[in-house]
Amino acid sequence: MMQSSRIITAIDVGTTKIFTLVASVDNAGNFEALGHGVVPCKGLSKGNIEDIVEAQRAIRESVEEAQKQSGIKINSAFVGITGTHISFENRRDVLDWVGSHGVITDQDISRVPETVANASQQIGRKVLHALPISYSLDGEEGIKDPMGMHSNRLEVETHVVTGSSMAVDRLVRAVESAGVKVDGVVLDSIASSESVLTPVERARGAAVIDIGGGTTDIIVYKGGTISYSAVIPVGGYQFTNDICMTYNTSFEAAEEAKITQCSTEPDTVRPHEEITLPVLGRVAGLRVPRRDVCQLTRERAQELMRLIMITLKNADVTDFENFRLVLTGGGSNMDGLEDMIKRTLTGNVRTAAPNGFMEIPLGLQQPSYSTGFGVLLWGARQISDAGSANGAVNGRNGHANGSRADAKEPVSVGGGKSRFFNPFRRNGK
Ligand SMILES: Nc1ncnc2c1ncn2[C@@H]1O[C@H](COP(=O)(O)OP(=O)(O)OP(=O)(O)O)[C@@H](O)[C@H]1O
Ligand SMILES: [Mg+2]
C-alpha cells in the first residue's frame, strides 16, 4: 500500500540560534528530515525576544536555508517557546459536566484540557498547555485513566503552562513576518522531552534539564505525565559572561575559551598551564592560568546546580534511585558538568542528543538540537490527534504518552487526544 506523507516544519527560536527543520512524516509515523537551517541570533535575552528586527531576520534566513535544502516552500511551522515570562501552576478543577450520563466517556476526557485552559485564563496571559496529571473520583485520588468509570464527582489535577500574551504574540509575529504561519506553540522543555526521553524514563520518573544559551528549562515527569516545570534564568550565556567580565575580553573570545578550554574541574588542569585571551583596547593578549578560568566555570556550574536542586525539591523529587536526570541543550556539553552532578546529586544522569525516532542528519546529533526535533515530534502528534479518531501516530516506538498501544501501562492520562491543548490549532487543519 502506498504511504501518504505530509510535510511538517519546526522552528526553535533559541537565545543563541534559530533552528528550522523541515521533515516528512508518513501515516505510519516514519520521519525523514528534508532540510534545515541554523542561523545565529542575538535578538533574544533569557529566552525573550528583545530585538524583534534581529529575530525576524534570523528566522527568515533560517527558514530560507531550510527551504533551499529541501526544495520545499514552508508555509507554516510549529514553534518552540521559552523565556522568563513563562509560568506554571498545578491546579484542581471539578468537572461537574462529566459523567452526567453515568459513565465517563472518551469524549468527556478529551474535553478536559480545553475546559481547564478556559478556567485558567487570566488577563495578559496565554495558556500554552493544560496537561492533566490525574483524576479523583468521588474522593479516590490518583486515577490516571478514569474512562469507563462511574462517578458523581470527578476532579482533575492539571499542570497548566502560561506565557505572557505579549511575549507569545511577539514570537508569533516574528515567525509570521517570515511568511510562515504558526501551527502551534510548544514549551521548549516539553519539546526537548519528546526527543530525548524514553518511555521507561517517563514512566519511572525523569527530569529533562535543557541548558540553553539564555535559560535552563526543566520539565519533570512522574508516572508518565508532566508534573512540574520551571525556567531558570541561567544558561550558557552566564558562563561566557563571567569570563568576559573577569578578563575584559570580547564575548566571542570568552565563548571560544569556554568551549575549547574550560571544564568544571580546575584540578584536572596542570597548575602552570596558561591560555591567551584578547583584551579590549590592548594589542597584546592577556595570559591567564587556565585553572583560574576553569574555576569561574566551576563556580557558575555550582550555582546552576543549586538552582536545579531547588527546582527538583519544589517538584517533590526526593528519591533519585528511580528518578533520572537527562541533560540536554548546548550547555550540557560543558566538560565536567555531568560528572559534577554524578558526584553531588545522583548517579542516575545522562546527557542526551536527539536520537532513536528518525535518522538525524549529520551535524544535528547534538544536545543543542533536542528542542527543534522535539517541536517536530510534538507537531506531528498534534496533527495526527486532530486528524484521526484513535489517537496518535507515534514519533517514536512505544512512546509512552498518548499512545493507545501503551494504554495498559499506567503512564498516560486519557491517551493522545487529551494530553495537549493547543490554542493555536487552526480549524480544519
Ligand atoms: N562544548 C561546550 N561547552 C560549553 N558550553 C557549550 C558548548 N557547546 C555549546 N555550548 C553552549 O550552549 C549554549 C547554546 O545552547 P543551545 O543551542 O541549546 O541554546 P539556545 O537554544 O539557543 O538557547 P535557549 O534555549 O536558552 O533559548 C551556548 O551558551 C553555548 O556556549
Ligand atoms: Mg533552546
* Full DSSP string of 93-111: EE-TTTTTTSB--HHHHHT
Residue 329 Cβ < 6 Å to ligand 1: yes
pLDDT tens figures, 55-64: 999 999 999 9
Helix (H, G, I), strand (E, B) or coil at 306: helix
What is the pairing mode between strands 324-328 and 206-211? Answer: parallel
Give CA–CA dist 159/132, Å, rounded. 6
Q: Read off the pLDDT of residues 121-177 as tens digits, 9 standing for 90 and up.
A: 999 999 999 999 999 998 899 999 898 898 878 999 999 999 999 999 999 999 999
Q: Is the CB of 213 under 6 A from ligand 1?
A: yes
Q: Does residue 80's CB lie within 6 angstroms of at least one atom of ligand 1?
A: no
* Ligand 1 pocket residue status of 46, Cβ below 6 Å: no
Instruction: Say how many Å lie between the CA of residue 261 and the centre of ligand 1.
Output: 15
**CATH number assigned to the domain covering 87-164:** 3.30.1490.110
Mean pLDDT of 56-73: 98
Answer whether 384 contacts ligand 1 (Cβ < 6 A): no
Atom 9 (ligand 1): residue with closest C-alpha? 330
Residue 424: the pLDDT is 59
Q: For 170-186, what is the mean pLDDT?
A: 96
pLDDT in tens, 370-424: 999 999 999 999 888 776 433 322 222 223 333 323 322 222 222 333 344 555 5
Q: Which ligand is nearest to the CA of 236?
A: 1
Name which residue sits closest to atom 8 of ligand 1, judged by CA.
330
pTM of the complete model: 0.90
Is the shortest distance between the CB of 201 and ligand 1 below 6 Å? no
Whether residue 47 has its Cβ less than 6 Å from ligand 1: yes
pLDDT, tens digit, 9 for 90 and up, residues 297-349: 999 999 999 999 999 999 999 888 899 999 999 999 999 999 999 999 999 99
Residue 374 is predicted with a pLDDT of: 98
- Asked if residue 159 has its Cβ within 6 Å of ligand 1, the reply is no
pLDDT for the residue numbered 328: 98
Per-residue confidence (pLDDT) for residue 81, from 0 to 100: 97
Ligand 1 center–CA 215 separation, angstroms: 9
Pocket test for ligand 1, best of 12, 13, 16 (most atoms within 8 A of CB): 16
pLDDT tens digits, residue range 20-44? 999 999 988 899 999 999 999 999 9
Q: What is the percent of the chain where pLDDT is above 70?
A: 89
Rounded Cα gap, residues 145 and 102, in angstroms: 16
- The residues, any chain, with a CB within 8 Å of residue 172's CB and separated by 6 or more, are 79, 182, 185, 424
**H or E element in which residue 206 lies:** strand 206-211
Closest CA to 324 of 412, 229, 409, 208: 208
Q: Where are the domains of the chain?
A: 87-164
